[in-house]
Structure 1
Amino acid sequence: MNDNINDDIIPLFQNSSEIETQVIKSVEDLKRNGTLDFSNFKNLLEGTYFLLNSKDEDLYNLGLYSICHICEFVPKDVFLLELLQDCIISSRIFLYKEMLPQEVNIENSFFDSYVKSYYTLDTGTVLTKDQKKIIALFNEYKRLIVSAPTSFGKSRIIEEIIVGNSYINIAIILPTIALLSETYLRFKSNGYLKEKYNLINSLGLVESIQNDNKNIFILTPEKMDMLLDEKPNLHIDFFVMDEIYKIQDDKDRKSVFSNCLYRLSKMENHFYLIGPYFDDFSPNFRSTTNSYFKKFNSEIVQKDTYSLYKMEKGEEYVVGDKTLKFKKNKKLNFRDVIKSVDGQTIVYNYRKDYVENLSKDIVKILDKSDETNSDLIEYISESISPDWSLVKALKKGIAFHHGSVPRYIQTEIIDSFNSQEIDIIVCTTTITEGVNTSAKNVILYSNAIGKLDNLLTGFEVKNIKGRAGRFRVHFIGRVFYFHEVDEDDKDIILIDYYDKEELEPEDVLQIDKEDLKDKNLETRQRIEDLLSKNKIPLSLLKQNKYIPIHKQIGLINLLRTQPIHLELVYFKGTHPDMGQLDEIFNLSREYLFNERDYNDRGFIDRELRRLLKYYVYHKPSIKQLIQEQNNSEYIDSKIRSVFKLITHYFEFALPRYFRAFENIYNFVYQEYHGVSDGGINLKYLLTLLEFGFVRDNEIALKEAGLPNDIIRKISEKFSDCNSLQQVRLKYKLNPNIISSLSSFEQKIFKRYI
């Protein structure tokens, strides 16, 4: 059969164009009717086989489109099943067969088993045809950049590369906390990686590094940058950067992404940079690093798209086994779709508050009489608020997910969704940027991102669309568009450090002088001349990364010309008093804050200062912080505000500003007093803000991912531990040490510790 089928097809079809047309028509008939007669099914399978054996990538992808729909409506005839088996073998996506219904029994021939063995690694992992190519390309080039669709399995290759090589230090750089958590837990469940490597997902674990240890650092770009600052002699043998397009698209973080990639790629090492839907990657970077780029287009999970915005009133469309009629009212169409889809569903909206409101609407639409309870619901009710709309939604099998939902709750929501305890998640881009779910359906309720007039690009649309359907769970994902959208790949990803003719001065400062040229080299020379003239060391401004140079110089000049500020800030001991903290905050805000933080209407000057002092001097619980919010009377707004306050200002922005302030203050203080050391020490303040705690054992628990209220409950049990390593050892020796925690809290502890 395998050798002769093409000879049978050629008389049937005159050319590949005719085959394309026939396959597309037959698949539409199959979708509409749920089956085909024997003759049409046979022709469809033969045409699909032809396409899957084509060297043309578009024809191959059409073959995948067809085979996924055939597997969705699998024929029952034995002969047709044998044809389907031949198509699966030809697709080189052998796991399709395992996804077929259990009653479908097709035996492998010796030839089929032989072909499959060629795509099976020593670890037992069965690769697709394109995944096999990636492994071969990596083995050939060792510095590989890959563009491939979502659900392609790009991340799956990471573990195989690690197993197949003898690396000592590995860095996995991930852009979001959600993706970081998912990757850490996946690596933790891999027996080989857990046995051979220390898995390090926080800087608190860095002190445990020994020269003879093998380590995998799973960090954000910011944390990786800090690690390289703290450990300048650390050599990374292999690194991965996932969602690499953010190095161009993330306006607020592109500098730290660029700097992280620049520093890592300058080491003599291997790397694997991955992301979806881009046609090319910085030629300057590829030339400088001697790296290779390859784009793949095959979608191993195909999509059925419903463009509702194109429909006319009364036009019929089929969702699952239901026929719906398009209505002019968007909310009525949304109601119809939500009530008709089967399988897990992700709904995208562009703002956090709109996400929460839409989840409330879905609760009303579905109008479930029964409520479920869970340990997660009880825990959130107790530790945050029983009135939070997330609690009410979870009881109905619905959740929302955005950047102001705590990391551990995000993880629990995804787990509950993938285990089908939750049916629908309404989200911003927090899920659509790399996190794997079991969603069959994706609904783009909005075509904007961040704000209404900022429309999703074609690339962003495809990235969200790609979350519909998960390989090994679905053959087909469904996508519903409620607004007009484009679906275009990104032409090229460019990197400021390598491609921008005129970099910002702050970026120029971070690049080795020998790597600069033309205008950027001139900028560097002007910076050095200006600093020399003002008697300011280059190293001072360089360590205050991403703080505008002119603002730093402005603060230095203020402290030099008005030394009264040196007196107002100066303190001895571990931390400043309220008046001194006021002065530090005021000067930092005026001279160091970026424009977004300076003009943040959600946290105006006096309110942010008040909450800062309350947090530092009273160490409140989450519930107490919620009660202190004056920006709204609604509980959802208060909770959203608290988590933004903690994750953006307390844990990230303020420590960065205050650390720069400390460096600048101490430089001017020592200069003014003519001494080589002295000044203020903000370590206590910075630690308290970043972690919510100052004791070593509590910091270790927080860095591992535990929420604050659980840490407070068990802190004394681990008071003699100075690191997470010691916490883990003590727990292994005495698991009953956490018996005072609830079963859910113990589950959280075990997950992260």
Structure 2
Amino acid sequence: MSANITLIDKLTTDSIKSVHFNALYQTLSIAYADSKLKIPSFITSKKTDDLCRYADIFSLSEESEYRVLAYRIIVKLLGVSEKKPALGSMARSIFTKLGLFFSESRFDKDEHPLPYEREVSNILKRDRQKLPFGNEVFTDSQYEVFTSLTELDNFSFSGPTSFGKSFIIRSYIFDCISNKKNVVILVPTKVLIEEYIREIRKTIKVEGWGNVNLSKNAQSYIEDKINILILTPERFNNLIYTDLELSIDVLVVDEAHKLGDDDERSMTSFKVIQETRKRLPTCKVIFSSPVISNPSVFLESFGLDGRNSIEAIEGPVTQNLFFIDLLNNSSQFYNEVSKEFYTHTKELKIEDMFSFIRSVTSKSSLIYCTSKSGSVSDAVLFAEDLPLLTNPKLVAASKNIKELIHEEYFLSDLLLKGVAFHNADLPKNVRSIIESLYQSREIAYLFCTSTLLEGVNLPTGNLFLRSFKTRGKITNKTKLDFWNLAGRAGRYTKELDGNIFCMRDTSSSWGNISTLVEKKNEVKADTSALKRLMRGRKIINVLKDGPLNEEKQERIMDQISNMILSDYMENKQKNHPSSLMNLVPKKFHSGLFKVLEDKLRDSGINEVPRQLFAIGHNISIERHINVLSDIKEQPVILSSLNGSDTYPLFERVCKVYKLKFSTAQINRLYRIAQQWIHGFSLKDIINNSLDNCSTVVIYRGGPIENFDRTNKAHVNAIINGVISSIEHDIGYELELYINHYYQHLVNSLGSEGAGINLSTYLELGTNDKFEISLQNYGFSRSVASELIKFYKEFIKFDDENVVVSIDTVNLLARLGKNSIAFTEVGNV
């Protein structure tokens, strides 16, 4: 035996290659897969004993893949062994070795004792890995990551979706607060913001930290407080170019794999991280990603030491992967050791996909849908034959949603059957209701879209996939998205494992699933902006002639070109080399330098303030020039929020920025926005839209139909259309361009002459300064409105209308216990 190979290394290597072990594990996997399909099956005592010995050997290894295998073996045995009541001590032993203390605590230590020295080791490890704040305990893998996080200057880590990345980040943020450090958490979408605010505020309250400014508003940075800001790339983009003397000690980039997305938001993320590195060179940067095997790539992308990274493989749960072929009535399971699919039964006699889902489980099931409309229609169809439930929490939630949205909203009726849908168009407070009910298992079946790929913390017992982009070429990005989604299966505090069911019910619904799932531990990420910066010839052409069309790929290259031009303008003024230009291959530098100089001389961009051009990198040079010209000739200055003032601004912004809204669409958006900023409830806005509706389109690309007020599908199409318009068209696109127009007004006319900035009111849906403050504090729009109208005396504001304190005790005593307001106040 080589001197470099330990006895355990030798045993684990021999065991994994053993014909005996592989045959045993295959038998165990078949029995366990059968049990998941409600087919009775078991493993004998003799085979159980042999498998336990193998599990014990694997659990002693330093290699994560063997430790994970030990966990899988014992979990499966606990499900199908004929002697499973006697397996508690073995389970405790293995769970303790992996630091899975919550799983270990499922077994009574008096009934299932460990050897004395193992019990002592257990106690010592628990004490060492206990969180600095709260009573929870890190698993071994989590503790390793957290320790590195606190000790290293910059750091990147990845882990399974169920690993607890947000949990680790929050724990580190609490460490930062105790050390008086300012932190920005960069999240890819707004859907992640509320979860961070809610969970961080709980601990702030428990620890009694009084000098913390926790906010999702980039404008709320307070110099004499500990700032914890949770921001999207767009919001951080505004902050990083502010005139404030920023002090940011730590930048956390959550869901960092999104830097590899081929979209405009990933370009903004890359830019603000790059800008942070340039403006705040002492700022510590942390990257957190799911699944990927190369977390070092993000450090290296920004010139940082790639050795400061960890790929965590051990998650607190494991997954069972099935391929259910409803066309052939067969089921296959994936063997994690042999890395192959095996057909284990052809006993399936299921009529359709929904029947299969109901036959497998009646609880904790996520059904993945490829579209928002599909998540709604599938949920409605699935629930048709289900009985009404009398669950008081579901009844209360149904009532609350009817009051918030509409009496005929599909979601309120679905809840009464334990079914719901979840997509990006749900209002924030409704989404929170659904997530809370699902996590507490009140909702049994949840039809969801790719919002789960954006990092929403919604683990599940069972995940059902009808299809997953497998008809075309299976790319590394496809695999990353698949395993990120699949990793939702299994909840550490609820189950020991989770189930992923890939279901084929049409000949085209799945391609080669083996290719999709193979080499799970080799899924890699990259940084899309760096790849774009390598295309020097394309950048030169876009700078010379502009983008060829409005297609996404051309828009992205236009952004890259604008980022280079902005960086070049700033550094030329300071006589510094351009950091972005240095990322373009040197062979293109002379041509790029010439075209940049030509652009500065001929385009008129020199007249646009560099800061505004830098903030608006996603706006074409032509549009920047248009805005500058418009403001010089005949600016639209908003003097009030009356319709006679706001409509001309809507019209002008759409024209100047060449937004693709027809006159009819502008009129509709204006009507909705007027009600929105004047505090109309969402329900009232929806009812007004229903009263003024004549036609409807049920799904994207569908035919235009005459609106029938008695047709529930028609009513819900209008409801979803209003919500989508508020969330995207008004609260994102128009808010973005109106804010940019206002910043140009401020630059030309000064803040006193620029009038009112409508963008904040469009985003938050109110013009009440106290409601705005409550929303920035973390309350939803509807609850902020209710609190100001009826309970303002329980909230203290400072001279700048910032929330100072909330008398939650007296406030909760006056709120209905089943109300949304009661829940939100309780959370703060």
TM bucket (normalised to shorter chain) is: 0.7 to 0.9
- For the structure 1 residues 606 and 726, does the alpha-carbon distance in structure 2 shift closer, same or farther, using more than 3 Å as the test? closer
- For the structure 1 residues 324 and 185, does the alpha-carbon distance in structure 2 shift closer, same or farther, using more than 3 Å as the test? farther
- For the structure 1 residues 206 and 47, does the alpha-carbon distance in structure 2 shift closer, same or farther, using more than 3 Å as the test? same
Query: 1:260 Cα shift?
Result: 2.8
Deviates more, 1:342-351 or 1:366-375: 366-375
Query: Aligned residue pairs: how many?
Result: 718
Give 2:129's match in structure 1, choosing from 118, 121, 125: 121
Give 1:508's match in structure 2, choosing from 554, 564, 576: 564
Query: 1:651 Cα shift?
Result: 1.9
Q: Take 2:674 and 2:116, find their aligned partners in 1: how far apart are those partners?
A: 69
Matched to 1:691, the amino acid is: L
Could you say which residue in structure 2 is the equivalent of 1:68?
Answer: 75
**Structure 1 counterpart SS, 2:456:** coil
Matched to 1:508, the amino acid is: I
What TM-score do the two structures reach when normalised by structure 1?
0.84
Q: Take 1:724 and 1:415, find their aligned partners in 2: how far apart are those partners?
A: 35
- Map residues 284-683 of structure 1 onto 2, 5 A cutoff: 285-286=300-301, 288-291=303-306, 292-309=308-325, 313-315=328-330, 325-326=347-348, 332-368=352-388, 373-448=394-469, 457-482=478-503, 483-484=509-510, 485=513, 486-487=516-517, 490-496=523-529, 500-501=533-534, 502=536, 504-509=560-565, 511=567, 513=571, 514=577, 515=579, 516-517=581-582, 518=586, 519=588, 522=593, 524-530=596-602, 535-557=607-629, 563=633, 566=634, 569-571=635-637, 573-575=639-641, 578=644, 581-593=646-658, 598=660, 604-616=662-674, 619=678, 620-626=680-686, 627-628=688-689, 630=693, 632=696, 633=707, 634-664=714-744, 677=750, 681-683=754-756
Q: Take 1:680 and 1:548, find their aligned partners in 2: how far apart are those partners?
A: 26
1:255 aligns with 2:267: yes
Could you say which residue in structure 1 is the equivalent of 2:198?
Answer: 185
Query: 1:464 Cα shift?
Result: 1.2
- For the structure 1 residues 497 and 265, does the alpha-carbon distance in structure 2 shift closer, same or farther, using more than 3 Å as the test? farther
Q: Does the 8 Å CA contact 2:71/2:94 hold for their aligned counterparts?
A: no
Give 1:282's match in structure 2, choosing from 294, 297, 314: 297
Q: Does the 8 Å CA contact 1:651/1:689 hold for their aligned counterparts?
A: yes
Q: Take 1:168 and 1:12, find their aligned partners in 2: how far apart are those partners?
A: 45
Q: Take 2:86 and 2:618, find their aligned partners in 1: how far apart are those partners?
A: 65
Could you say which residue in structure 2 is the equivalent of 1:201?
Answer: 215
Q: Take 2:43 and 2:800, find their aligned partners in 1: how far apart are those partners?
A: 61
Q: Take 2:603 and 2:642, find their aligned partners in 1: how far apart are those partners?
A: 30
Q: Take 1:136 and 1:555, find their aligned partners in 2: how far apart are those partners?
A: 50
Q: Does the 8 Å CA contact 1:304/1:477 hold for their aligned counterparts?
A: yes
Deviates more, 1:474-483 or 1:157-166: 157-166
Deviates more, 1:332-341 or 1:104-113: 104-113
Q: Does the 8 Å CA contact 2:389/2:416 hold for their aligned counterparts?
A: no
Could you say which residue in structure 2 is the equivalent of 1:243?
Answer: 255
Runs of 5+ in structure 1 lacking a partner?
1-5, 671-675
Give 2:66's match in structure 1, choosing from 54, 59, 64: 59
Q: Does the 8 Å CA contact 1:506/1:545 hold for their aligned counterparts?
A: yes
Q: Does the 8 Å CA contact 1:27/1:69 hold for their aligned counterparts?
A: yes
Runs of 5+ in structure 2 lacking a partner?
1-5, 35-39, 334-343, 504-508, 537-556, 572-576, 697-706, 708-713
Q: Does the 8 Å CA contact 2:403/2:683 hold for their aligned counterparts?
A: no
Matched to 2:167, the amino acid is: R
Could you say which residue in structure 2 is the equivalent of 1:148?
Answer: 159
| Deviations 1:707-753, CA, capped at 9 Å, x for gaps | 44444444345399656996755642883598377751431440465
Q: RMSD of the TM alignment (CA)?
A: 3.9
Q: Take 2:755 and 2:348, find their aligned partners in 1: how far apart are those partners?
A: 61
Counting aligned pairs with the same residue, the percent is 17
Q: Does the 8 Å CA contact 1:438/1:473 hold for their aligned counterparts?
A: no
Q: Take 2:750 and 2:197, find their aligned partners in 1: how far apart are those partners?
A: 41
Could you say which residue in structure 2 is the equivalent of 1:744?
Answer: 819
**Structure 2 counterpart SS, 1:308:** strand
Deviates more, 1:646-655 or 1:507-516: 507-516
Deviates more, 1:631-640 or 1:407-416: 631-640
Give 1:688's match in structure 2, choosing from 739, 761, 771: 761
Q: Take 1:572 and 1:160, find their aligned partners in 2: how far apart are those partners?
A: 45
Query: 1:302 Cα shift?
Result: 1.4
| Deviations 1:592-637, CA, capped at 9 Å, x for gaps | 25xxx62xxxx64422333314532783432232232545241211
Q: Does the 8 Å CA contact 1:691/1:703 hold for their aligned counterparts?
A: no
Matched to 1:17, the amino acid is: K
Query: 1:114 Cα shift?
Result: 1.9
Q: Does the 8 Å CA contact 1:301/1:470 hold for their aligned counterparts?
A: yes
Query: 1:695 Cα shift?
Result: 2.5
Matched to 2:320, the amino acid is: D
Query: 1:528 Cα shift?
Result: 3.2
What TM-score do the two structures reach when normalised by structure 2?
0.77
**Structure 2 counterpart SS, 1:625:** helix
Could you say which residue in structure 2 is the equivalent of 1:271?
Answer: 285
Q: Take 1:43 and 1:10, find their aligned partners in 2: how far apart are those partners?
A: 18
Give 2:98's match in structure 1, choosing from 87, 91, 94: 91
Deviates more, 1:356-365 or 1:735-744: 735-744
- For the structure 1 residues 98 and 188, does the alpha-carbon distance in structure 2 shift closer, same or farther, using more than 3 Å as the test? same
| Deviations 1:544-596, CA, capped at 9 Å, x for gaps | 34211222224445666xx4xx1xx5457335753x64443334223425xxx
Could you say which residue in structure 2 is the equivalent of 1:50?
Answer: 57
Q: Take 2:249 and 2:186, find their aligned partners in 1: how far apart are those partners?
A: 14
Query: 1:348 Cα shift?
Result: 0.6
- For the structure 1 residues 724 and 125, does the alpha-carbon distance in structure 2 shift closer, same or farther, using more than 3 Å as the test? farther
- For the structure 1 residues 510 and 40, does the alpha-carbon distance in structure 2 shift closer, same or farther, using more than 3 Å as the test? farther
Q: Take 1:129 and 1:734, find their aligned partners in 2: how far apart are those partners?
A: 39
Q: Take 2:472 and 2:186, find their aligned partners in 1: how far apart are those partners?
A: 31
**Structure 2 counterpart SS, 1:246:** helix
Q: Take 1:325 and 1:173, find their aligned partners in 2: how far apart are those partners?
A: 49
- For the structure 1 residues 167 and 393, does the alpha-carbon distance in structure 2 shift closer, same or farther, using more than 3 Å as the test? same
**Structure 2 counterpart SS, 1:217:** strand
